[in-house]
Structure 1
Amino acid sequence: MNNPLLSKEHCDYIKVSVESDLATVTLDRVEKRNAFNLEMWQEIKSAFTSLHENHDIKCVVIRGGDDKYFGVGADISEFEKHRKNSQSASSYGKIMHGAMHSIQSCCHPVIARISGLCIGGALELALMCDIRICSTSSKFGVPINKLGLVMAYPEIAALVRVVGPSTALEILYEGKILDAKEAKDKGLVNRVVGEPELDQEISDLVISICDGAPLVNRWHKKFVYNLLGKGMRVDSLSNEELSEGFECYDTEDFNIGVNSFLNKTSPKFKGK
């Protein structure tokens, strides 16, 4: 008998477009308000695995296909089929967590462009991104205690990493839907801008990122998450890991950057 968690049909809920240095990943199950189902998680992992291997891009933006919804959380209607007990939920969780891990482990900077509802699994996904920028219309929350559901360890780790343990528990205990200002105050997002300014804010950030040396951005992302995984203990790093902090001096981009600085010109980095 085929395992429904292993057989994936092409549903095209996740759309990827690449323009110059930027890849845009669009969550496009808008007819269901971007309620996350099994196929979406599978397609997210596939998309970010491919982007990780594409070194022609320098930045990734993930967004909703409709500005009313970044995502409203899990598709409850599929629970009976895929998450009706601890065993099936555990199998589902491995796929979901694999998708989330593919975002955090993607070597490129990943920005979440958030507009509208960002609830439950959508917020958990956004927490895996490096930077979160939202519009003033955005709403956030994880009201899963109202459903009798637990946030599993991988998502808990991301939430605690972003807002700290006390605020994480406050968000989970209350199950409250937060407006954009409250989300910013609690550290869930980096910036809040008006709806008309959101795309320009994202564009300006993307340009700043892409103007930098791509290898350096990838190293910095790797170093930050590596340190977090080791409890911020530099003394736990291996000699090989410590040496990686000096490999930039052997790159072509290092010479380009230094020469451009000395000659007062704008560097054109090659990612080499």
Structure 2
Amino acid sequence: MTNTIQVAKKDHVATIVLNRPEKMNSLDYDGWIQLDQALRTLSDDDDVRCVVLHGAGGRAFSAGADISEFTTRRQNSEQAYAYGLVTQSAMDALANCRHPTIAMITGVCVGGGLELASVCDLRYSNASGRFGVPVNKLGLVLSYGEMRGLMRLVGPAIAMEIVLEGRVFDADEALDKRLINRIYPDETLGDAVMDIANTIAERAPLVNRWHKKFSRRLLDPAAITPEEWKESYDCFDTEDFRIGYQAFLNKEKPKFTGR
């Protein structure tokens, strides 16, 4: 495997870099596997409190899957299905990561790149961001798994506009469609996103994980069970709750332990 995915950790913030700038950070088969493994490892790491995903080089977040592999790995439906199991596993690992996730988007964010961003919890773009899913120009369809994150994020009407028109549009339109949370100038995006990530990491990590779990669960139309309702109050038994309210009473900044 090549070193397509680079992982670093500083304090409680982990960064994952999609490292193929010469290919607009598109992911090849090995890259999807590396991304999957990196995300599952970080999800299991209790020391991590926030994960930031971004592309190398500044020209692109990601252009999605590497189209040059179509002639070797996706020549027919059987091969494409097997390939799709690999890409979907990585998408699921990102969507189901226990920690809050942030997509830091610079430049091109299209196809599978937008699909990756759509399953992150937060998405921040620079002013040069470009978005779209122009797969109908290639005669390709988004699978159920690939379309799911987009549908949940923007709803069926906007999702259908994106896939049927197949346009690539700018960051202002992406913000208007609620694909992204905020736009920053190109030169300040990195610092702004890391400030947000560090702020999240300073907050009670168990609470952040619960909020993420609850928000995903509320997308499921099944009724909340009594056991799930009860879990909403488990925070009162944590050390972080005692640290938090005592710091509030003392007018101090809390230092949460994650217990």
For the criterion TM > 0.5, the same-fold answer is: yes
Alignment pair present for 1:263 and 2:250: yes
More deviation, 193-202/43-52: 193-202
Alignment pair present for 1:141 and 2:128: no
Q: Distance in 2 between matches of 1:65 and 1:194?
A: 18
Q: 1:57 aligns with which of 24, 48, 71?
A: 48
Alignment pair present for 1:132 and 2:119: no
Q: 1:193 aligns with which of 179, 184, 189?
A: 184
Q: CA deviation at 1:30?
A: 1.5
Alignment of 1:1-272 (within 5 A): 10-228=1-219, 230-231=220-221, 236-272=223-259
Partner SS, residue 73 of structure 1: coil
Q: Distance in 1 between matches of 2:65 and 2:39?
A: 20
Unpaired segments of 5 or more residues in structure 2?
none
Partner SS, residue 66 of structure 1: coil
Q: Distance in 2 between matches of 1:41 and 1:210?
A: 26
Q: Distance in 1 between matches of 2:212 and 2:159?
A: 23
* Count of aligned pairs between the two proteins: 259
Deviations 1:60-104 (A, max 9, x none): 100001110111122111112111111111111111000000011
Partner SS, residue 51 of structure 1: helix
Q: Distance in 2 between matches of 1:74 and 1:51?
A: 23
Q: CA deviation at 1:119?
A: 1.0
Partner SS, residue 24 of structure 1: strand
Q: Distance in 2 between matches of 1:72 and 1:269?
A: 38
Partner SS, residue 233 of structure 2: helix
Q: Distance in 2 between matches of 1:37 and 1:214?
A: 33
Q: Distance in 2 between matches of 1:219 and 1:105?
A: 12
Deviations 1:42-76 (A, max 9, x none): 01100000000111111110000111011112211
2:21, 2:59 within 8 Å by CA — same for their partners in 1? no
Q: Distance in 1 between matches of 2:71 and 2:27?
A: 15
Unpaired segments of 5 or more residues in structure 1?
1-9
Q: CA deviation at 1:200?
A: 2.2
Partner SS, residue 100 of structure 1: helix
Deviations 1:157-195 (A, max 9, x none): 111111110011011110000101011111111101111
Q: Distance in 2 between matches of 1:261 and 1:170?
A: 47
Q: Distance in 1 between matches of 2:128 and 2:137?
A: 24
